[in-house]
Amino acid sequence: MLTIPAIVNGVISSGIIILAVSKLTNNKKAFQSIGVTTLLLILSLVVLRLALPFELPFTKPILSSKVLPFFNMYIHENYFFGKFTVLHLLITVWILGGAFKACKNVLRYIKLRTTTKLFSKKRDRTREYSDICLKFYNIKIPDNLKIIKSNSMGAPVIFGLIKPVIIIPDEEYTEEELSFILCHELIHFLKKDLWVKLILEVICIVYWWNYFVIVELKKAFANIMECRADFSVIELLNEHDRIEYLKFILEESKKRKQIISTPLQLNFANNYETKRLSNIEKRIHFGLEYDKNKKFYKSKIICIFITVVLIIASFLVVVQSHHSYIDDAQEGEILFSINENNAYIVQYSNDRYTTFLNDGTELFTLPYIDESLKNLPVYHHGRFRRKVK
């Protein structure tokens, strides 16, 4: 069941993990010991948690009778126009914000796709550059991957899902430099990084208001995917060519003053939407010290275990509001227990629930079903609708 406490649980637990991963990616020793595959797995679990903001059948509520009841009453009972409450306002802003971001991304994608179509025939270099990949790495460019020369992006990038395109600036490169670019972008294609970015863009549209998602999570994914591509290229190179490759990344990053960023795009010499040289320096330091033979199984297992435990814990319990009617009772009033055997709820509308005793006595009306009343049967239009779970 989708509820506000469940969404809050997901946001908090994922935020903690995202912050931890961001710190780990800034620490050279930790990054090397955990590895890019483990970090990507952890971030994938975070995305999965954000995609499932639900209370499950086994979720146990922790009742709050101090703060949350006042918050619940505020968002359910403060009206703007007619029956338009604060909760309705928040939901409307959430939906409109997501729709705006989605439309913006789609328009940027269409604009770039149109641009690549204009240049695809005149500046198609697929056959020529395929020979370079075969010569240096004995790798064949897939038939559905096109390579064009264009200054439309400002940097070497790979773009698109169904018909992916590698865009290389219309500049003079040596064959070795072209091989570096092509191999790096080809690794992104083979690792399905563009599909990962598509899923990430969808999550960012839904959680457009969450800083940890739209900034930290995107930056962490971009940094780790770029490092994974660097490491994959480095594994194909000797010691001298490794140094040349890393020097080339640094030179490219210095040349690129403005890089156009669009959805479903990965840049060669620039991390996601950032022009800070420190991120490039990080990639170079990691590349210089990369050793595929080093194994740190203990660190990997510990990180995955902590992540899984935190995510499972976020599903096990959820904090919910609880209104104590005993506390509201006046001196001298007779108190009795309300349960499924002596009371029921009638739903008149989506924000009006009236509780009755079985003898027809009306007790009170609330704009929602309180947690303490969720064992009562609910009737709607004279028919038994459900028992709240």
Three-state secondary structure call for residue 267: strand
pLDDT at position 159: 85
Pick the closest to residue 286 from 25, 20, 22 (CA basis): 25
Read off the pLDDT of residues 336-359 as tens digits, 9 standing for 90 and up.
678 888 888 888 777 678 888 887
> What span, in angstroms and rounded, lies between the C-alpha atoms of 168 and 148?
6
pLDDT at position 276: 45
Q: How confident is the model at residue 309 (pLDDT cuts 50, 70, 90)?
A: very high
338 token code pair: 């309300």
AA letter at 178: L
Pick the closest to residue 264 from 150, 158, 151 (CA basis): 158
Pick the closest to residue 147 from 34, 23, 131, 51 (CA basis): 131
**Secondary structure (H, E, C), 214-235:** HHHHHHHHHHHHHHHHHHHHHC
> What span, in angstroms and rounded, lies between the C-alpha atoms of 157 and 188?
10
Among 97-106, 170-179, 200-209, 260-269, name the one with the lowest average pLDDT: 260-269
DSSP 129: H
> What span, in angstroms and rounded, lies between the C-alpha atoms of 359 and 344?
10
Instruction: Yes or no: say if 140 and 130 are a contact pair by the CB < 8 Å rule.
Output: yes
Q: Looking at per-residue confidence, does 68 or 180 come out higher? A: 180
The CB-based long-range contact list for 73-77 (8 Å cut-off, 24+ gap) reads: 76/351, 76/366, 76/367, 76/368, 77/367
125: number of Cβ within 10 Å: 16
Q: Looking at per-residue confidence, does 73 or 231 come out higher? A: 231
pLDDT at position 201: 94
DSSP 2: B
pTM for this prediction: 0.78
Residue 63 has pLDDT above 50, yes or no: yes
Read off the pLDDT of residues 206-234 as tens digits, 9 standing for 90 and up.
999 999 999 999 999 988 999 999 999 99
Q: Looking at per-residue confidence, does 300 or 71 come out higher? A: 300
AA letter at 209: W
The two counts, helices (H) then strands (E), for the chain are 14, 13
323 φ/ψ angles, rounded to the nearest 5 degrees: -100, 120
> What span, in angstroms and rounded, lies between the C-alpha atoms of 179 and 181?
5
> What span, in angstroms and rounded, lies between the C-alpha atoms of 203 and 47?
7
> What span, in angstroms and rounded, lies between the C-alpha atoms of 26 and 356?
59
Read off the pLDDT of residues 364-387 as tens digits, 9 standing for 90 and up.
777 777 777 878 888 876 565 555
Three-state secondary structure call for residue 309: helix
Residue 45 has pLDDT above 90, yes or no: yes
